[in-house]
Amino acid sequence: MLNLQSQTPNRKKRVIVAVGGGIAAYKVCELVSTLFKTGVEIRVILTQAAQEFITPLTLATLSRHCAYTDNDFWQPTHSRPLHIELGEWADLLVIAPLTANTLAKLASGMADNLLTNTVLASSCPVLLAPAMNTDMWSQLAVQRNWRQLLTDSRYHSMGTASGLLACDRIGAGRMAEPPEILTYIQSLLHIRGQRDLTGKGVLISAGGTREYLDPVRFIGNPATGKMGLALAQAALHRGANVTLVYCPATWDIPLGVQAIPVVSAEQMQQVMQSYLHNAEIIIMSAAVADVKPKDYSTEKLPKRSLPQALPLEPVPDIIAQLAKLKQPHQLLIGFAAQTGDIITPAMAKLHNKNLDIIVANPIDQPDSGFGSDNNQAIFLDKQGNKVEIPPCSKLEMAHYLFDFLIGKPG
């Protein structure tokens, strides 16, 4: 039995966080602190302008290592040039916030400070989290530099969010929030910067459908959509064009994901079939209801009017319909959330519904399944291959699933 986790090196991952001179620099404190708590080894670089917003002492304390500035760069206190040491050390370099000034330098290959010299002296992936005023971000010169930089496959883009900026403008230019940057970091460390789904369309369903009896009562399940969200994030970070069909959720939609909200199984079926032709990979991670109330009341039913026995009828079998419609170049992956023996019913679903892969995951294990940030599973395919993934985060699970299907026909 193959264990995909054996591909992961035992040593700690190494990340350089380079801080540019912008008000968003304060967000980097949360990022560095969280990275350390996840077991990542961190080095921090601050530009001269960054020190106007946040001190090296703060980031040194949070990273448990001295934070480097240009003063360190120009001092002959290292056995080898500091930018060479850092560049060779890093598995990943994150620039947050990326300012217009640093962007212009990187786009033209300049190296006049510790940050830019370290970038040029390294070969690891670079994650960019730009932040600037809306008018600055929209300038033709800035956008030209941005497009130019992203032609280099080393560079990965967080993009910018829209909202209220520190200058009181409302618009594009906000730096991505630390949790979103952290997720992208975790992805890049797993895939080592490779975009192995570039150009692929990935269609994902997420969450638990709701089948309403009246405007306030419904038949549902505890699914939160976190697994589907993780799949969307992982696919996006690997270069895919991602469409996420999701039921009511409390999480934010990742930048760059096309998201379509639905409520019922019927609505999900319509949307999934509408977008099926654009996808090479279809993943049904949603927990779809099996039945719905036969009758629906447009007004809230008084308690005394609730039926003693609720007449039910089946809802569409979405994945079975998708299996009938899919083309030879497409892969269809299903999920089987089970208690007790998870393999037998998963294998039956795999073959009965003509799936390419099924993910059998136990929902009766601690910190696994519905509502949890973690999961565990067994991957099964129709060729008889079986991969067991022990407990891990749902983002890791998503990447292990893509690792499993990469290289299959389609």
Catalytic residue numbers, as ranges: 167
Burial class (CB in 10 A: 0-12, 13-18, 19+), 85: middle
Question: Which tokens in the block code for residue 114?
Answer: 């510790």
3-state DSSP call for residue 391?
strand
Amino acid at 214: D
Q: CB atoms < 10 A from the CB of 36, how many?
A: 16
- Is 86 in contact with 121 (CB distance < 8 Å)? yes
Peptide bond just before 97 cis, omega within 30 deg? yes
Q: Show Cβ contacts of residue 153 under 8 Å, excluding neighbours closer than 6 positions.
A: 193, 195
Ordered alpha helix ranges (H), 38-193: 56-63, 70-73, 82-89, 100-108, 114-120, 134-138, 140-150, 178-191
- Rounded to the nearest 5 percent, the helix, strand and coil shares of the chain are 35, 25, 40
What are the φ and ψ backbone dihedral angles of 45, each rounded to 5 degrees?
Answer: -120, 135
Amino acid at 45: I
- Is 337 in contact with 307 (CB distance < 8 Å)? no
Q: Show Cβ contacts of residue 117 under 8 Å, excluding neighbours closer than 6 positions.
A: 73, 83, 111
